[in-house]
Amino acid sequence: MASPSTTTRVSRRKHRGVPIPATRYDQRLAKILSYATEVFCDKGYEGASMRDLSRASGMSLAGLYYYFESKERLLYLIQKHTFTTIVARLKARLEGVDNGEERIRIFILNHLEYFLANQAAMKVLSHEDEVLKNGFGSEVAALKREYYRICVGLLDHLKRQRSLQFTTRLAVLSLFGMMNWIYTWHNPRVDADAASIAREMGDVFLRGVICGAKARKS
Amino acid sequence: MASPSTTTRVSRRKHRGVPIPATRYDQRLAKILSYATEVFCDKGYEGASMRDLSRASGMSLAGLYYYFESKERLLYLIQKHTFTTIVARLKARLEGVDNGEERIRIFILNHLEYFLANQAAMKVLSHEDEVLKNGFGSEVAALKREYYRICVGLLDHLKRQRSLQFTTRLAVLSLFGMMNWIYTWHNPRVDADAASIAREMGDVFLRGVICGAKARKS
């Protein structure tokens, strides 16, 4: 079985943003997930075969089945890896910050930073949202729900701090839309980096929910 | 060849929002496009075969090739139909309206109304954005560019009317993100209808670009 670390078929750039894991096994896992993300991104989950994944990663078909069992498990691992990483980073960054507006800005920056460094992952997550079923599906759904609820919590916190009125669900999903759509248009040669975009999207979104929103009768 | 009008495999509900065309040929075309949209939506473009399209539409495989030549041409016709319809409706609605804010609200309502009535089309358009190549690809790209530019024009008009400052490209793409992401979450049993969502998204977006945005020195 060819070691994935020796292949050059997918450029190194694609591995940016994936934290370097501790063990050799974890390192190999992270690389295979990165290759698999690229293949799912290019061909779609339905269109990609284990043979395509083997070709891209330089890992034998037998090795791929031995380590990952199925294409479905690979998609599950990609989604799990993404959400656990992004939530862990977010929690660390929110630590000790109380200002409601500032906490939402941190959420936006954390999200955009991760996904601009991992655009293929964002596309795969968006496109293959409903593919996983049963155990895999419900585990990933729980991770996504946790992430969504963190954002709901941040918005509700701001609402209380500033006595605002808006539909939290619509505001949260509008924010995710603004941020996630970026995988369809961001061009690093034309567009600003994650920090600038986060600042400007944060301005639009926060003014949008704060300015002129009727204050509750207190 | 079975007539698509006699099949019941795809429910009638899916044809909502597709205008009723004048001739029998056009009627058949619109129905086949609607079936094809459903199949591309479920299986992805790469994963769908002409055989799947034949099964869903009740049209023979030979008939499908005879009328549409290829899967690619079907995707092209779906995209073309969507953008020409949405742009035509928008232009009719904007006629005679001069207020910049009102024009943007019309844009949002028109977009959401169409896509909430045609969620499968929105998913196919989002997911199969880069599939079409050469002639088909550049024709659809031109239609999309026209639609994008209308939105840029509306934002620039508002900017002038109200002496605002913001990055038009980022504002337009944030707005498209808010609106388009809806295909991933809108649940008619829980969420409001297009008119209410358009109003609330319009509030958030317009306050976002208007409130507190530095006025130009005049």
What fold is seen in the domain A4-69? Arc Repressor Mutant, subunit A (1.10.10)
Q: Report residue A9's pLDDT band, with 50, 70 and 90 as the boundaries.
A: very low
Contact across the interface for B174 and A129, Cβ inside 8 Å: no
Q: Say what the alpha-carbon torsion angle B147, B151, B41, B120 is, to the nearest 10 degrees.
A: -110
Contact across the interface for B207 and A212, Cβ inside 8 Å: yes
pLDDT for the residue B16 = 43
Helices H / strands E in chain A, number of each: 9, 0
* Whether residue B2 has pLDDT greater than 80: no
> What residue spans define the domains of chain B?
9-71, 72-210
Residues of A in contact with B111 (CB under 8 A): none
Taking the C-alpha atoms of residue A112 and residue B65, their distance in angstroms, rounded to an integer, is 44
**A72-210 CATH, one of 3.30.390.50, 3.40.50.970, 1.10.3720.10, 1.10.357.10:** 1.10.357.10
**Each residue's pLDDT tens digit, A12-42:** 333 444 445 567 777 778 888 899 999 998 8
The secondary element (H helix, E strand) that includes residue B125 is: helix B119-127
* Whether residue B30 has pLDDT greater than 70: yes
Superfamily for the B9-71 domain = Homeodomain-like (1.10.10.60)
Q: Report residue B21's pLDDT band, with 50, 70 and 90 as the boundaries.
A: low
Taking the C-alpha atoms of residue B5 and residue A208, their distance in angstroms, rounded to an integer, is 46
High-pLDDT (> 90) share of chain B, %: 59
Identical fold, B9-71 and B72-210: no
Query: In terms of Cα–Cα distance, which of A181, A16, A66 is closest to B184?
Result: A181
pLDDT for the residue B213 = 62
High-pLDDT (> 70) share of chain B, %: 87
Chain B residue with Cα closest to A180: B177
Task: For chain B, say whether A47 makes contact (Cβ under 8 Å).
Answer: yes
Chain B residue with Cα closest to A207: B208
* Whether residue A196 has pLDDT greater than 90: yes
Helix (H, G, I), strand (E, B) or coil at A198: helix
* Whether residue B4 has pLDDT greater than 50: no
pLDDT for the residue B96 = 95
Helix (H, G, I), strand (E, B) or coil at B39: helix
What does the pLDDT average to over A44-60?
90
